[in-house]
């Protein structure tokens, strides 16, 4: 839910203003109304403070000055380059570079070549080594020797190695020592500076907030009086009023007006609060709306379970969530979100008979209960001459329910904000759709009275839709035109919205099938080998296959429920958004 706010106007004598602001900041409950960004961001002192804040954040995030980081990067690059040279020199054996230089001084020329082993001929030179189907060889030429022309052969000449692999490795050891020294200097710098930098960042941030509040203050009576506006949550207003009564300040408390830029503070229970980050991903609701978080949270959790669809994968998510809760207190709420998501997926996976790609219907030990799994074998839905998978039908039904729920949410929101006459059009569509569903479900068992009642309800809804699409329109033909256009958009949009929910079934089915395929491949690969070694390819295929499948399923299980929330639910709920987060002026 959205916390109700009170609007405050403060009028303070200029000599008492800084003391008043200090008291206001110490209390930390008032979100100050700032002036237009252009008026504030053009202040040179504020710009300098903002730039300093960015520099501090960057330095803290880096963990060291640029000079030390560049020095470390240079040493790491030299190590990488030297390792490459050592790898290239390895094919020439453990030679002494000084002896090669002595041969060169004595008038000998050494040329280094590589060619496919199948093409190598002894008369080309002395073979030194073979690796990966290639032969590396050397031509040793005296002052009067004529080199064999290999330009028309498969041999390629290579640069002469500067050092042997052993010598390059010795240089790597030396560079590793330099790297350790640089890392030690970085650690010393961090111990000496990080804590102070973090304190300075906090002080800079507070200075910026203080400056912004001063710049948002209106000066009256030739600067003698300071006028400031802000918002305070209604549950914290008594505490603020107590402080204001003791302060040297005049204040006025009122309810916010529609045109005010009112900050948004979401206040939900433990379960719903876990889904607030999803709400913020799109946008906070504005003050005139209802908080959609409690209303989409159960759907989102169910959609995640349907998309992931495997009880084994749900167990992995649940255990990962518990690990985060126990080992990472700062991420505790994300961990609990994982626990609920994993638990939902486990329930869906067990009900549909899928666990790590294993079809539970086919497990012999579960034969007594296999008839209870919600599968095509046990619960095929027959409809209008066709047979349908039960989970596909469930996905469509849950989609229809959420769309109708969203429309009801919209009716309630508009009624509370503007009055029922502005919600009558949406209410007529909701009643009409529910009536059509009831008519369709009871088509074979309705009495004459029931049938005529449905006709009457649909007729009344049609009148409202066609003639009362907008109560502010006074011209009948304009309202009729608006009603017809709205009808076209509603019918075409509803069909696309409902069909979007079929993906819940399709994604869950695809993940289960792919997991089952990896299981079959693993057993087939292991069965083709002796038992003492057959377990290894089986294990490798299972680990690789299910890790890949789990990653793909996890992505779709997050993305598609978000799409259904932000597109289908938000659209039918009339979500407007655009709210700014409540950020009180505080230390």
Please indicate, yes or no, whether residues 78 and 125 belong to a single structural domain of this protein.
no
Q: What is the pLDDT of residue 40?
A: 62
Same domain for 356 and 410, yes or no, is yes
* CA torsion through residues 384, 388, 391, 392, sign: negative
Q: Is residue 138 part of a domain?
A: yes
Domain end, chosen from 179, 208, 237, is at: 208
Residue 22 lies in a domain: no
Tokens of 528: 């083709």
Residue 254 is given by DSSP the state E
Q: Report if residue 198 sits inside a domain.
A: yes
Q: Are residues 505 and 422 in the same domain?
A: yes
Q: Is residue 281 part of a domain?
A: no
> Do residues 80 and 107 share a domain?
no
Of residues 472, 382, 359, the one with CA closest to residue 422: 472
Per-residue pLDDT of the chain (587 residues; tens, 9 = 90+): 899 999 999 998 888 888 999 999 999 999 998 875 555 667 788 888 888 889 999 998 888 898 999 999 999 999 999 999 998 889 988 888 788 888 888 888 899 999 999 999 988 989 999 988 999 999 988 877 787 888 888 899 998 888 888 899 999 999 999 999 999 999 999 999 999 999 999 999 988 888 888 888 888 888 889 899 999 999 999 999 989 988 878 889 999 988 888 999 999 999 999 999 999 999 999 998 999 999 999 999 999 999 998 999 999 999 999 999 999 888 999 999 999 999 999 999 999 889 998 888 888 888 888 888 888 887 778 776 677 888 888 999 999 999 999 999 999 999 998 888 888 888 998 999 999 988 888 877 778 888 888 889 999 988 888 887 777 776 666 667 777 877 877 887 888 888 899 999 999 889 988 998 998 898 888 777 787 788 888 899 999 999 999 999 999 999 999 999 999 999 999 999 888 999 999 88
3-state class of 486 per DSSP?
A: helix
Q: In terms of residue numbers, what domain contains 177? A: 37-85+167-208
Both 47 and 136 in one domain: the answer is: no
Report whether 576 contacts 410 (CB < 8 A).
Answer: no
Question: Which of 373, 493, 490, 510 is CA-nearest to residue 432?
Answer: 490
pLDDT of residue 247: 82
pLDDT of residue 337: 93
Do residues 313 and 325 touch, judged by C-beta distance below 8 A? no
E strand map for 400-461: none
Predicted confidence at residue 476, as pLDDT, reads 62
| Count of domains forming the chain | 3
Instruction: Judge if 537 and 467 occupy the same domain.
Output: yes
Q: How far apart are alpha carbons 45 and 32 in whole angstroms?
A: 20
Question: Based on the domain organization, do 43 and 141 belong to the same domain?
Answer: no
Residue 149 sits in the same domain as residue 188: no
Report yes or no on 395 lying in a domain: yes
Say if 447 falls within a structural domain.
yes
**Pick from 502, 465, 513: which is nearest to 485 by CA?**
465
Q: Which two tokens stand for residue 168?
A: 């390059």
Question: Do 412 and 501 lie in a common domain?
Answer: yes
| Spatial distance between the Cα atoms of 320 and 327, rounded to a whole number of angstroms | 10
Cβ neighbourhood burial of 32 (10 Å; 0-12, 13-18, 19+): buried
Q: Are residues 373 and 461 in the same domain?
A: yes
pTM confidence score: 0.77
- Asked, for residue 373, whether it belongs to a domain, the answer is yes
Residue 368 lies in a domain: yes
Q: What pLDDT is stored for residue 373 in this prediction?
A: 85
């Amino acid at each position: 839910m959205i916390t109700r706010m009170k609007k405050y106007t403060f009028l303070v004598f200029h000599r008492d203003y800084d003391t008043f602001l200090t008291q206001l900041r110490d209390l930390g409950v008032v979100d100050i109304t700032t002036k237009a960004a252009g008026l504030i961001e053009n202040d040179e002192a504020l710009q300098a403070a903002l730039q300093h804040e960015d520099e501090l954040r960057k330095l803290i995030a880096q963990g060291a000055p640029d000079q030390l980081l560049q020095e470390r990067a240079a040493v790491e690059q030299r190590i990488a380059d030297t390792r490459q040279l050592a790898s290239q020199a390895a094919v020439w054996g453990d030679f002494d570079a000084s002896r090669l230089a002595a041969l060169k001084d004595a008038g000998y020329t050494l040329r280094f070549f590589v060619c496919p082993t199948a093409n190598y001929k002894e008369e080309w030179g002395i073979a030194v080594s073979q690796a990966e189907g290639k032969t590396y060889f050397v031509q040793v030429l005296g002052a009067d020797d004529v080199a064999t022309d290999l330009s028309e052969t498969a041999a390629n000449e290579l640069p002469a190695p500067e050092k042997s692999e052993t010598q390059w490795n010795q240089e790597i050891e030396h560079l590793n020592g330099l790297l350790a020294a640089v890392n030690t200097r970085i650690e010393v710098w961090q111990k000496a500076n990080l804590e102070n930098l973090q304190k300075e960042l906090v002080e800079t941030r507070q200075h910026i907030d203080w400056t912004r509040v001063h710049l948002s203050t209106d000066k009256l009576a030739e600067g003698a009086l300071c006028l400031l506006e802000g918002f305070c949550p209604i549950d914290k207003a008594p505490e603020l009023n107590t402080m204001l009564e003791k302060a040297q300040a005049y204040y006025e408390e009122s309810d916010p007006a529609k045109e005010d830029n009112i900050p948004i503070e979401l206040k939900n229970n433990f379960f719903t609060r876990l889904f607030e980050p999803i709400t913020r991903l799109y946008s906070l609701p504005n003050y005139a709306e209802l908080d959609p978080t409690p209303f989409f949270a159960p759907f989102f959790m169910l959609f995640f379970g349907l998309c992931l669809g495997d009880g084994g994968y749900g167990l992995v998510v649940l255990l990962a969530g518990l690990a985060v809760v126990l080992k990472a207190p700062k991420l505790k709420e994300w961990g609990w979100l994982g626990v609920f998501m994993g638990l939902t997926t486990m329930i869906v996976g067990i009900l549909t008979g899928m666990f790590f790609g294993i079809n539970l219907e086919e497990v012999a030990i579960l034969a007594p209960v296999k008839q209870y799994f919600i599968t095509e074998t046990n619960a095929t839905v027959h409809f209008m001459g066709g047979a349908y998978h039960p989970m596909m039908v469930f996905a469509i039904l849950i989609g229809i329910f959420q769309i109708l729920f969203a429309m009801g949410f919209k009716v309630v929101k508009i009624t509370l904000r503007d009055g029922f006459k502005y919600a009558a059009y949406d209410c007529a569509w909701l009643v009409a759709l529910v009536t059509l569903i009831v008519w369709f479900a009871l088509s074979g068992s309705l009495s004459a009275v029931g049938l005529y009642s449905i006709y009457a309800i649909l007729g009344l809804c049609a009148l409202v839709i066609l003639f009362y699409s907008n109560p502010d329109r006074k011209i009948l033909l304009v309202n009729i035109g608006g009603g017809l256009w709205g009808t076209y958009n509603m019918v075409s949009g509803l069909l696309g919205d409902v069909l979007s929910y079929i993906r819940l079934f399709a994604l869950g089915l695809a993940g289960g099938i792919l997991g089952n395929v990896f299981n079959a491949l693993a057993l087939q690969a292991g069965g083709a080998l002796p038992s003492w070694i057959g377990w290894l390819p089986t294990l490798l295929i299972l680990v690789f296959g299910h890790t890949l499948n789990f990653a793909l399923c996890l992505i779709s299980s997050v993305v598609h429920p978000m799409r259904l929330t932000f597109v289908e639910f938000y659209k039918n709920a009339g979500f407007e958004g655009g709210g700014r987060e409540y950020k009180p002026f505080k230390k």
